[in-house]
Structure 1
Amino acid sequence: MKDILEYTSYRQYIADYYAERKAKSAFSWQEFASLAGFSSSIFLKYVSEGRYNLGEATAVRVATAMKLADYECDFFVELVKFDHAKTDAEKKAAYGKMISIAEAHKAKVLEGDSFRFFSDWKNPVIRELAPAMPGAKPLALAHACREKITAAEVSETLNFLVKAGLLQKDDAGNYTQTEKSVTTGPMEVTPVAVRGMHRQMGEFALDAIEGVPQAERHFSGVTLGVTHEAYNEIVQEIAECRKRVIAIATRDSAVDEVYRLNMQFFPMTNIKGLKK
């Protein structure tokens, strides 16, 4: 089975651990539960299936039963915290610790780079800005951003983008993009970071209403009554529109400014809730 540091779900790790032990011996869920100090023979089976949860204390017991020691035990506990976190802030904190544990032991957490990229507005903005300003030093890049950012933060962001393979730096100190666009893809953890970025960009959009001349920004909106079928069709239309916008933006290698496009379509009522 995979190393513990490659997992983002503690339930999957428990299931894989059991399957591996079962394939090699007469290992049972009852024996597994007993090793972890549970009276119910099927408790851990139900945990792996998502019916029951582990707490922080019981997570340590299960980790010990699986012979996870030191940083592996710590990582397993953070997996449990991540799974049970009620807010995005709690999830980000737990996942951040998972990444730190993995990096300290020369391992790479699945989705780690993607999670970090979408956790902060600085990453996508600097990724677009640096190639548009050849030879520019971090301080110049910082001054070019409308939102407050220091030269040190720019340097840290550039180092991360190069390390993650999202930018390339030549001998002259110029940056180029390895890919024209970056998307989340079908991942388990990254959406937590993406929701945080949506909040950041939403706040910047509010500031832009007053802080950016009208000739340099475009805001429009419409309020609609729709059916569920129409909603699905509109969402698909938005997705296609987004693809067309990306195609327009990426057909020319020159960049005059870095823009953010927020496409939002959300409910203003709760009619279904009233019907219930």
Structure 2
Amino acid sequence: MKPIFEYTDYREWIRDAFDDFKQRKTVISWRYMAMKLGADPGNLLRVSQGKIHLTLSLVKPMAEFFELDEKETAYWTELVCFGRAKTDAEALNHYEKMQILKGIPLKRLAKKELEFYRHWYCNSIRSIIGICRFKDDYEGLAESCTPPITVEEAKSAVKLLYDLNMISKDRDGYWKVNDTFVSTGGNWRSEAVRTFQKETIRLAGESLERHAPPLRDISTVTMTFNMDDIALIREKIKEFRSELLRMSQEGNGDDTVFQLNVQLFPIGFAKKLQEKAK
């Protein structure tokens, strides 16, 4: 089992800790653990399944049950609070504390860094520079984006990337991508990132008319699931996305920048109709 400091989802840690405990010590059941914690076994199971949140009164007892040390308990406490956060500010506050306990100082997103997410083409230009030689042909750089952007936008994006230390010039004057990259930090939600997501979703819709079928793969399918299975479906999407990221990182001779949007959202609730039919 990986260290608790590598987790950002407290429910995932509970499931892994439960399985690890069962393998290392003795037979264990949710009922047995609930009895030791003074909790309802059904609720404890629902917590592990992502259906409800763990009550704060059980945070310390669970830390003691799994024999966490002082630092692990502190991280575990912030991890639960992070998962229960209802606002962006609250989530970021607990996430920062988690990073400090891990020994990683969190770099707050400054105004310029947030600006990176407000314009979809900043990410595109950074990726283009990473796979081709670019010096000062801003007209060509602007036309390389799809849809094309203005020369002024291209120049502004390059300056922003430089200010953020995302790109730099080599000795021949060509721009190159640096290893540093701005992250919003795990599950922390920011308005700038949501704006970026809205923009890429809009671009995905426009791609139906802008790009020929061989250059895109946009398909739709309507399915029905039990709401209890949504956590598992989200995990499957995460695994799929991680595999494609690995392929991208290991690839050679890349010549095109792609944007992947995986979209899963409800468009109908049968439960409401069923309730009315009763």
Q: For this structure pair, what is the TM-score category when the shorter chain's length is used for normalisation?
A: 0.5 to 0.7
Deviation of the 1:175 alpha carbon:
2.4
Deviation of the 1:273 alpha carbon:
5.7
Match of 1:116 in 2: 115
Question: Any residues of structure 2 matched to 1:92-241 within 5 Å, and which?
Answer: 110-112=108-110, 113-136=112-135, 137-179=137-179, 183-186=183-186, 188=188, 191-241=190-240
Deviation of the 1:269 alpha carbon:
1.3
SS at match of 1:176: strand
The one-letter amino acid paired with 2:237 is: I
The one-letter amino acid paired with 1:192 is: E
SS at match of 2:231: helix
Work out whether residues 120 and 197 of structure 1, in 8 Å CA contact, stay in contact via their aligned partners in 2. Answer: yes
Deviation of the 1:233 alpha carbon:
0.4
- Mark the CA change 1:234 to 1:187 in structure 2 (over 3 Å): closer, same or farther: closer
The TM-score with structure 2 as length reference comes to 0.54
SS at match of 1:118: helix
Distance 2:190 2:270 in 1: 27
Identity in percent: 24
- Mark the CA change 1:232 to 1:187 in structure 2 (over 3 Å): closer, same or farther: closer
The TM-score with structure 1 as length reference comes to 0.55
Work out whether residues 123 and 157 of structure 1, in 8 Å CA contact, stay in contact via their aligned partners in 2. Answer: yes
- Mark the CA change 1:257 to 1:180 in structure 2 (over 3 Å): closer, same or farther: farther
The one-letter amino acid paired with 1:176 is: K
Once superposed, what is the RMSD of the aligned Cα atoms? 2.6
Distance 2:119 2:172 in 1: 27
Deviation of the 1:217 alpha carbon:
0.9
Distance 1:200 1:173 in 2: 32
Work out whether residues 135 and 172 of structure 1, in 8 Å CA contact, stay in contact via their aligned partners in 2. Answer: no
SS at match of 1:245: helix
SS at match of 2:176: strand
Work out whether residues 166 and 177 of structure 2, in 8 Å CA contact, stay in contact via their aligned partners in 1. Answer: yes
Aligned length in residues: 169
Work out whether residues 166 and 178 of structure 1, in 8 Å CA contact, stay in contact via their aligned partners in 2. Answer: yes
Deviation of the 1:151 alpha carbon:
1.6
Deviation of the 1:155 alpha carbon:
1.3
Distance 1:235 1:253 in 2: 30
Work out whether residues 169 and 176 of structure 1, in 8 Å CA contact, stay in contact via their aligned partners in 2. Answer: yes
1:176-224 deviations in Å (ceiling 9; x for gaps): 2223876432375x52112111221112111111221111111123211
SS at match of 1:168: strand
SS at match of 2:260: coil
Structure 2 runs not aligned, ≥5 long: 1-87, 90-106
Deviation of the 1:146 alpha carbon:
1.8
Deviation of the 1:232 alpha carbon:
0.6
